[in-house]
Chain A
Amino acid sequence: MAEAVESPGDPGTTTPRPLMRDLKAVGKKFMHVLYPRKSNTLLRDWDLWGPLILCVTLALMLQRGSVDSEKDGGPQFAEVFVIVWFGAVTITLNSKLLGGNISFFQSLCVLGYCILPLTMAMLVCRLVLLAEPGPVNFMVRLFVVIIMFAWSIVASTAFLADSQPPNRKALAVYPVFLFYFVISWMILTFTPQ
């Protein structure tokens, strides 16, 4: 099936890629997520560093002081990791099985980078939770999470929807919606102890 050109980097070279160049590439993609335009940068020069950084940050921030028993607590680090990566892989497989012409790693890249708004929501929630608890506290967090959830969906569909045949767009977009909804739920229900 037709796939866009992948750029996996320079495997097998003896000189390591300059760190600054990589960081700049990651930062540029962050900007593309924050201001989603129709551009091919995310797809053409995919990398998985950004998603990894975001996933680790999110998973670390979702940790609580383990006062609760293991059974009843919030998601563990591994659970968040599994949900994000397993979810992204499943959505990618789903998209490819439905006949989309996006490559595996490009799709993972897009889904991973579009977690950025939700990671920012997590930061904001953690800061808001330092203040006094109450219904206002909850409403602020709810509002922020909803806005960032919508932002993630818009950003990812801007990149992913074009790769699907038109009569199956909704089928490919719905799992993305479910994925970010679950992550938003994890962020919203976070309560530090």
Chain B
Amino acid sequence: MAAADELAFHEFEEATNLLAQTPNETTTRSDQLSPKGHVAVAMDSGGSYGAEDEVEESDKTVLLQEEKQQPGFWTFGYYQSFFDVDTSQVLDRIKGSLLPRPGHNFVRHHLRNRPDLYGPFWICATLAFVLAITGNLTLVLAQRRDPSIHYSPQFHKVTVASLTIYCYAWLVPLALWGFLRWRKGVRERMGLYTFLETVCVYGYSLFVFIPTVVLWLIPVPWLQWLFGALALALSAAGLVFTLWPVVREDTRWAAGVLLSVVVLLHALLAMGCKFYFFQPLPPEPMASPHQATSQPPATMLPPTLPRSVAA
């Protein structure tokens, strides 16, 4: 901690004064002032702080934070603090989740102690509806090839999709956060993310599945698996790169198990969605009616046996 003090700018004192008054507040910090090597140091303190650039801005912050208390959870203002984002910030976070880089921690670089609930909520909503709609579209495409398949809007799938996506995006971060808190109780040196930051990471990581699901309309099986694998790789990589700085202080065994469970759950979600919402297309209708009448059983493929699963 002494090293951090020596390297900090002189405004550091004002920042610590702010924190002393309102210990739960965090000040925003800019990337240039915090070299990457100090990410781990900042997280150990349980809250992160950095120096403001100009004196005027820190004065203004002192004034603001003296005026506003932390609103209680029963007030509307409490929830408004979770939606305190601009369009450009949301777009920046989405870009950050689409292009994960090792060492480029999503929470520290993009969220910067201002997690929002807008992104996770609306990304989940969009994904749920897109899943249901494109799944329905594959049924339309299937019916064109084989008129004996009965088309129906399958509206119950919207309910299933939204329940699945929302439960995944909110319960899994809850479990992860609880687990990390427990581990932090066991090993003091581990860092920790707040619950909202975990929810944010998971929510934004689901964004890459939205275009993937739309691309799954293309009725070429190996292409569908390729897109799915690509999306899963990007999404899981984002999660792993974000969680790695936190779990690397833990034992190798625990860190490995945690990361593989995270990736496994993500893969299960992706595959579950693919199998439940998308049905394989029946083969192309034969040109001559003589051959068509001889193969009626093949046209009604059971959805649990996609032909493309080679191994």
CB proximity of A174 to chain B, nearest CB, Å: 7
CB proximity of A7 to chain B, nearest CB, Å: 23
Whether A178 contacts B153 by the Cβ 8 Å rule is: no
Whether B126 contacts A178 by the Cβ 8 Å rule is: yes
The answer to whether A170 has its CB under 8 Å from any CB of chain B is: yes
Whether B155 contacts A75 by the Cβ 8 Å rule is: yes
The answer to whether A167 has its CB under 8 Å from any CB of chain B is: yes
Q: Which of A71-114 contact B (CB under 8 A)?
A: 71-76, 79, 94, 96-99
Size bin of chain B's contact surface:
20 to 34
The answer to whether A182 has its CB under 8 Å from any CB of chain B is: yes
What does the 1/0 interface line of B132-162 toward A look like (CB < 8 Å)? 0100100000000000000111111000000
State whether A168 and B136 are in contact (beta carbons under 8 Å apart), knowing that A72-B152, A189-B153, A191-B151 are contacts in the complex.
no
The answer to whether B83 has its CB under 8 Å from any CB of chain A is: yes
Q: For B76, B90, B118, B136, which residue has the most chain A Cβ atoms within 10 angstroms? A: B118
CB proximity of A137 to chain B, nearest CB, Å: 14
Whether A171 contacts B87 by the Cβ 8 Å rule is: yes
Set of chain B residues within 8 Å of A94, measured between Cβ atoms? 83, 118, 121-122
Whether A178 contacts B133 by the Cβ 8 Å rule is: no
A167: which of B79, B80, B86 is its contact (CB, 8 Å)?
A: B86
The answer to whether B88 has its CB under 8 Å from any CB of chain A is: yes
Set of chain B residues within 8 Å of A73, measured between Cβ atoms? 152-153, 155
Whether B85 contacts A171 by the Cβ 8 Å rule is: yes
Cα separation A68 to B85 with both chains bound (whole Å): 45
Set of chain A residues within 8 Å of B225, measured between Cβ atoms? none
CB proximity of B226 to chain A, nearest CB, Å: 27
State whether A98 and B129 are in contact (beta carbons under 8 Å apart), knowing that A73-B155, A75-B155 are contacts in the complex.
no
Cα separation A46 to B136 with both chains bound (whole Å): 37
Whether A72 contacts B129 by the Cβ 8 Å rule is: no
Whether B87 contacts A175 by the Cβ 8 Å rule is: no
Cα separation A122 to B157 with both chains bound (whole Å): 22
The answer to whether A185 has its CB under 8 Å from any CB of chain B is: yes
B83: which of A98, A170, A191 is its contact (CB, 8 Å)?
A: A98
Set of chain A residues within 8 Å of B126, measured between Cβ atoms? 178
Whether B86 contacts A168 by the Cβ 8 Å rule is: yes
- Which chain A residues have a beta carbon within 8 Å of chain B's beta carbons? 68, 71-76, 79, 94, 96-99, 167-171, 174-175, 178, 181-182, 185-186, 189-191
What are 26 residue pairs bridging A and B, where the CB atoms are less than 8 Å apart in the complex? A71-B156, A72-B152, A72-B154, A73-B152, A74-B152, A74-B153, A74-B155, A76-B155, A79-B155, A94-B118, A94-B122, A96-B76, A97-B80, A97-B82, A99-B80, A99-B84, A167-B88, A175-B122, A175-B125, A178-B126, A178-B129, A181-B129, A182-B129, A186-B155, A189-B136, A189-B153
